[in-house]
Amino acid sequence: MIERKILVVEDSPVVLKVLNHLLSQNPIFIPVLCACYGEAKKRLNSDEEFFAAIVDLNLPDAENGEIVDLVLSHKVPCVVLTGTFDDNLRLSLLNKGVLDYITKDSRYSFNHVIKVIERLSKNQGIKILVAEDSSTSRLFIKILLEQYRFKVIEAVNGQEALAKLEEDPEIRMLITDHNMPLVNGYELVRMLRYNTRFQDLVILGLSAEGDNALSAKFIKAGANDFLKKPFYHEEFHCRVVHSLEAQEMLETIRDLANIDPLTKLKNRRCLFDEGERLFREASSYLSLAMIDLDHFKRVNDTYGHIVGDELLEAVGQEIRLAFPSMLACRFGGEEFCIVAPVSGLELQGKMEAFLSGLRSKELTEAKIVLTCSVGLCSQPVDSFEELVRVADQNLYEAKRLGRDRIVSDH
Ligand SMILES: Nc1nc2c(ncn2[C@@H]2O[C@H](COP(=O)(O)OP(=O)(O)OP(=O)(O)O)[C@@H](O)[C@H]2O)c(=O)[nH]1
């Protein structure tokens, strides 16, 4: 697990204690507590690497916010805590590059600080593509995003943006201007939304001030949000984060509906949804293997249901590792399905390797050695349901013939 040191500079022992407590609840954060400017300076000048800092503006040995300049000069993202709210001061601190300016007026303020740091930590793994032909504008957006620890990729026109999105599936968000050569922003959004591969890409359109119709066009074409230029950087950041969080929430809900919580494989509902799509799209082969654990009832009877569950969880992990690019689902109970647009021979080869790997393993703390029976179907059939039915018949035959084998129809 990656650990991230968070520098906390605060002269109030109570506040220090609260922040220490809240940060320590997240195991990746290691709070480093300093009660004054001098102490913080020493820590920052050492070899330690800090992920972020939470600082009090008024310290006994630096009463005029000098700590902010010190932290920023070490390129450490900084959240400011203050006793009193001052609009002008807030503005000047945000302009300097401070992430947030939070007043210590209630315990919610401290939770808010932790939320900002946690968001920063999530941002580190998020790639954002900025499509903008003006290099000044592009650089400005890049700097803003990097302040919040996003990874930034750049494109100078819509066509380049498309190519970069095609080659890097890890890009999570696109921020696009409209007026760009070759393919403009609006066309780019339309093209992306026609492609199911990009349905989860978060898109933020940028439109010039006064062009109300364009903002609406961006949204209608499928952008998650838009922002009028010139924008205020705090609003920019809020919109980026809100769009990402809305998408994250959507994906969590989708996972809850589609993923089996025990094995972390897709569930039966998903098997039929995705399987039917694969069946429609398959140009030549579509093969399906149904796996059933042998004598699983004995595991429950001998070791109890908790170990039975642990074994199913372990098998789920083995399946995910063995068939990373195939549709792998828990069909129900101790039955699993693997579906892929490959020949029956190819799937059988992979399945034999999987079964022989499984036989050589001792799974769970009870060191259970497991065998499986498999029914495989790759013959031309009229529907996905038929593919499942034939594989199930073959599985029945594999059990009847003595288990620990594959019965296939090719
Ligand atoms: N622990 C646990 N057991 C489950 C779960 N789902 C199904 N089972 C058990 O899996 C067992 C399946 O038993 P059977 O269908 O008789 O099959 P088997 O013992 O695997 O024998 P064969 O399939 O004939 O080799 C039953 O005892 C179910 O209670 C689960 O989520 N957790």
User: 152 and 111, same structural domain?
Assistant: no
Instruction: Tell me, in angstroms, the distance from the centre of ligand 1 to residue 287's CA.
Output: 25
Measuring from atom 18 of ligand 1, which residue has the nearest CA? Answer: 295
Of the candidates 257, 281, 310, which is a domain's last residue? 257
User: 230 and 159, same structural domain?
Assistant: yes
Q: How far is CA 196 from CA 46, 147, 183, 192, 193, in A?
A: 49, 32, 20, 8, 7
Q: Which residue bears the tokens 């890049």?
A: 142
* Mean pLDDT of the region 11-17: 91
Ligand 1 site-directed mutation target among 334, 335, 372, most atoms within 8 Å of CB: 334
Contact 20, 26 (CB under 8 A): no
pLDDT for the residue numbered 184? 87
Of the candidates 238, 257, 276, which is a domain's last residue? 257
User: 136 and 107, same structural domain?
Assistant: no
* Mean pLDDT of the region 34-63: 92
Q: Strand 406-408's sheet: what is its strand order?
A: 327-332, 335-340, 287-293, 372-377, 406-408
Residue 283, domain CATH:
3.30.70.270
User: 137 and 222, same structural domain?
Assistant: yes
User: 219 and 184, same structural domain?
Assistant: yes
Q: Is the CB of 294 under 6 A from ligand 1?
A: yes
- The answer, yes or no, to whether residue 232 has pLDDT greater than 90, is no
> Is 174 domain-assigned?
yes
Q: Which residues, 6+ apart, have CB-to-CB distance to 201 below 8 Å?
A: 165, 171, 172, 173, 174, 192
Q: Is the CB of 316 under 6 A from ligand 1?
A: no
User: 25 and 67, same structural domain?
Assistant: yes
User: 103 and 47, same structural domain?
Assistant: yes
Single out the residue of 371, 370, 355, 344 nearest to residue 289, CA to CA. Answer: 344
For the entire predicted model, the pTM comes to 0.74
277-283 contacts at long range (C-beta below 8 A, 24 or more positions apart): 278/327, 278/339, 278/340, 278/341, 278/384, 279/383, 279/384, 279/387, 281/341, 282/341, 283/341
Total structural domains within the chain: 3
Q: Which residues, 6+ apart, have CB-to-CB distance to 117 below 8 Å?
A: 6, 23, 29, 51, 52, 54, 79
Q: Which atom of ligand 1 is nearest to the CA of 294?
A: 25
Q: Which residues, 6+ apart, have CB-to-CB distance to 238 below 8 Å?
A: none
**Range with the lowest mean pLDDT among 84-88, 223-227, 334-338?**
84-88
> Is 372 domain-assigned?
yes
Ligand 1 site-directed mutation target among 300, 302, 395, 396, most atoms within 8 Å of CB: 300
User: 274 and 402, same structural domain?
Assistant: yes
| Tokens found for residue 133 | 């032909």
> How do strand 406-408 and strand 202-208 relate by DSSP bridges?
unpaired
> Is 352 domain-assigned?
yes
> Is 263 domain-assigned?
no
Query: Which residue spans within 281-408 are E strands per DSSP?
Result: 287-293, 327-332, 335-340, 372-377, 406-408
> Is 262 domain-assigned?
no
Residue 21, domain CATH:
3.40.50.2300
- When computed from its CA atoms, the radius of gyration of the chain, rounded to whole angstroms, is 27
Q: Give pLDDT tens digits for 307-361.
A: 999 999 999 999 999 999 899 999 999 999 999 999 999 999 999 999 999 999 9
User: 213 and 81, same structural domain?
Assistant: no
- The answer, yes or no, to whether residue 34 has pLDDT greater than 90, is yes
Q: Which domain holds residue 402?
A: 268-408
- The answer, yes or no, to whether residue 200 has pLDDT greater than 80, is yes
Instruction: Tell me, in angstroms, the distance from the centre of ligand 1 to residue 354's CA.
Output: 21
> Is 156 domain-assigned?
yes
User: 252 and 129, same structural domain?
Assistant: yes
Of the candidates 84, 103, 122, which is a domain's last residue? 122
Measuring from atom 27 of ligand 1, which residue has the nearest CA? Answer: 297
Q: Is the CB of 334 under 6 A from ligand 1?
A: yes
> How many residues would you count in the chain?
410
Q: Give pLDDT tens digits for 240-294.
A: 999 999 999 999 999 899 999 999 999 999 999 999 999 988 877 899 999 999 9
pLDDT for the residue numbered 126? 95
* Mean pLDDT of the region 296-314: 96
User: 318 and 237, same structural domain?
Assistant: no
Measuring from atom 7 of ligand 1, which residue has the nearest CA? Answer: 333
- The answer, yes or no, to whether residue 67 has pLDDT greater than 70, is yes
User: 272 and 403, same structural domain?
Assistant: yes
Q: Give pLDDT tens digits for 358-378.
A: 999 999 999 999 999 999 999
Q: Reduce the secondary structure of 6-29 to three states and give it as a string.
A: EEEECCCHHHHHHHHHHHHCCCCE
Average pLDDT, the chain: 92
Number of Cβ atoms within 10 Å of the Cβ of 345: 14
Measuring from atom 11 of ligand 1, which residue has the nearest CA? Answer: 297
